[in-house]
């Protein structure tokens, strides 16, 4: 790894990052290597956010840069090996909550790590999660919520998945805001993640890396 793309993304240098990706592809650099560098750059952004060096707008901006990089890389990745998807993950911000920054980062990171992500969006009704599990056969569900009122919605969603007879077929992770072990116990989720990389790690553990 040259580290150039890692630096451009972690320093939020959008123009330089996109130009570097285009030029590298033209020189025949493996798109998978560029994707790995982009992921490492996002990891650094996540660490800086955790340490208080970066803030929510920086997180949002980094997500936009990543989205643009992935858009450039996708056709080249598919040209090589048809991207083998590890499995499906359903993700959505629960009913009553319209925050999408954390959710979008989780969706990005799951996607670039090889998962097929079904993003249900924000303020997602309980039944929509249940229907998505039935229709997709997904083995992993991610519930996002920033507000404390989202905790009850997470619990309601998991209860409904249980009532539909699907609970033993899926692993459920929750994340966002002040989610912690106590919230996990309250909702009945299998695990909680502090950030997007933990969500990827959980999905890998449940579906296979």
The tens digit of pLDDT for each residue in 31-87 reads 988 988 988 898 888 888 878 899 878 888 888 898 899 889 888 876 554 456 789
C-beta separation of 61 from 12 below 8 A: yes
**pLDDT < 70: residue spans in the chain:** 1-2, 78-84, 208-209
Residue 94 is given by DSSP the state B
Structural domain for 71, as ranges: 4-79
| Count of structural domains, the chain | 2
Secondary element (H or E) of residue 172:
strand 171-175
* SS3 state of residue 203: helix
- pLDDT given at position 195: 82
Residues 122 and 183 both lie in one domain:
yes
C-beta separation of 144 from 180 below 8 A: no
**8-18 per-residue burial string, b: 16 or more CB within 10 A, e: under 16:** bbbebbbeebb
* SS3 state of residue 186: helix
- pLDDT given at position 1: 44
Encoded tokens for 162: 């249980």
- pLDDT given at position 151: 96
CATH number at 147 reads 3.40.50.280
Residues 12 and 75 both lie in one domain:
yes
Residues 73 and 96 both lie in one domain:
no
How many percent of the chain have pLDDT more than 70? 95
């Amino acid at each position: 790894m040259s580290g150039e793309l890692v630096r451009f993304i972690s320093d939020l240098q959008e123009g330089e990052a996109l130009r570097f990706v285009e030029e590298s592809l033209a020189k025949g650099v493996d798109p998978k290597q560029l994707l790995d560098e982009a992921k490492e750059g996002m990891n650094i952004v996540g660490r800086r956010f955790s340490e208080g060096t970066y803030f929510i707008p920086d997180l949002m901006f980094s997500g936009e840069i990543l989205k643009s990089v992935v858009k450039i890389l996708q056709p080249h990745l598919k040209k090589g090996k048809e991207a083998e998807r590890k499995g499906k993950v359903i993700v959505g911000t629960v009913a009553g909550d319209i925050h999408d920054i954390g959710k979008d980062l989780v969706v990005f990171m799951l996607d670039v790590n090889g998962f097929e992500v079904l993003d249900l969006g924000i303020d997602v009704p309980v039944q929509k999660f249940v229907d998505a599990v039935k229709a997709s056969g997904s083995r992993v569900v991610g519930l996002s919520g920033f507000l404390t009122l989202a905790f009850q919605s997470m619990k309601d969603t998991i209860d409904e998945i249980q009532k539909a007879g699907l609970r033993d077929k899926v692993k459920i992770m929750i994340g966002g805001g002040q989610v912690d072990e106590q919230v996990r116990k309250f909702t009945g989720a299998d695990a909680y993640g502090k950030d997007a990389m933990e969500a990827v790690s959980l999905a890998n553990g449940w579906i296979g890396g």
